[in-house]
Amino acid sequence: MEAFKAELEQAGVGDVLYNEPLSNYTTWKIGGPADILILPGGKDELIAAVRLLQKHQVPWMNLGRGSNMLVSDKGVRGVVIKPHRGLDYVRFEGTTAIAGASYSFIKFSVMAGKEGLTGLEFAGGIPGTVGGAVYMNAGAHGSDVSRIFKSADIVLETGELVRYEKDDMRFSYRHSILQEQKGVVVEATFELAEGDRKEIAAAMATHKDRRRKTQPLQSPSAGSVFRNPPNDHAARLIQEAGLKGVRRGGAQVSEQHANFIVNTGQAKAEDVLALIAHIRSTVQERFGILLVPEVLVVGER
């Protein structure tokens, strides 16, 4: 590791932080430190970082906005890569939209609407980055990334830059090939359609109003914790099991939306994990359905 650190300082890979608390980089505001956090400022720095990690065989993981992730209280050993400023962009070419990995997915949907392009309305309440949305095949309101995805430039763990088309991504419900094959999205291209600006704005306003009324937006959370089982909703099952408001330490099942777990102030990752385990066992005992977490749990346990 010392040889890696010495080379890292000379490699020009962007900002490098040591023992950096990851609670500063997740929407749950939970997580211990990363041994090393690298913030590449652009494609070339990202490629250089991954190649250096490959050369020294240092373990690493990728982090977007941390909106669908639970980092353990002990943190992450090795390196965390978080695409940074140089990958925070969007541009439109007719009905085609190209966005950098670190660009806000919510902002992306807003900008598309202003361009009079439809297809991204569902993204207006997904608090992640474009890269994270591609990784998770993020979705809401009956649509998801796979419906509009065209291609993505990805840095594989070998440091090779490749372009994956839609068929290469193996999209399914909240899943892509990037959950099987390690890589970092650099930018993604989406195919949208011409639409009416007023209708797009109205649809997004409706979604926003529904979120405001039903989701605990005022408290740190990671969005939906569990995947919806076939032909049902996790929130309904959790609510029917009488689990709204249940706490473990500083973590609580939201009173507004039963599929959200909120950080009431000082929640630890272990509090959230204990609450997830309690929800799963209770719902399974009551309904015979084992809920599958949608949240990625990472770090040293």
**pLDDT of 82-102, one tens digit each?**
998 899 999 999 999 999 999
| Burial environment of residue 17 by CB neighbours within 10 A (0 to 12, 13 to 18, 19 or more) | middle
Q: Map residue 292 onto helix, strand or coil.
A: coil
User: Is 45 one of the annotated active-site residues of the chain?
Assistant: no
2-85 and 89-199 share one fold = no
User: Is 174 one of the annotated active-site residues of the chain?
Assistant: yes
CATH label, 89-199, candidates 3.40.50.1440, 3.40.50.150, 3.30.70.1140, 3.30.465.10: 3.30.465.10
The active-site residue out of 20, 45, 115, 294 is 294
pTM (2 d.p.): 0.91
User: Is 294 one of the annotated active-site residues of the chain?
Assistant: yes
Q: What is the pLDDT of residue 277?
A: 98
The active-site residue out of 176, 219, 224, 254 is 224
Q: Which helix (H) or strand (E) holds 293?
A: none
- The model's confidence at residue 290, banded by pLDDT at 50, 70 and 90, is very high
* Nearest by Cα to 64 from 150, 169, 178: 178
Sign of CA dihedral 219, 299, 38, 149: negative
Look over the chain and give the mean of its residue pLDDT values, rounded to a whole number: 95
End-to-end CA distance of the chain: 21
The crossing angle, in degrees rounded to 10, of helices 197-214 and 105-114 is: 150
- Residue 22, pLDDT > 90, answer yes
pLDDT > 70 fraction of the chain, expressed in percent and rounded: 100
Q: What is the pLDDT of residue 1?
A: 76
The active-site residue out of 65, 174, 187, 248 is 174
Specify the CATH class of 216-298 in words. alpha beta
Rounded to the nearest 5 degrees, what angle is found at the Cα of 183, between the Cα atoms of 82 and 155?
Answer: 85
255-270 in b/e burial notation, b at 16+ Cβ within 10 A? eebbbbbbbeeebbbb
Q: Where are the domains of the chain?
A: 2-85, 89-199, 216-298
pLDDT in tens, 177-233: 999 999 999 999 999 999 999 999 999 998 888 888 889 989 999 999 999 999 999
Q: What is the pLDDT of residue 126?
A: 85
CATH topology of domain 2-85: 3.30.43
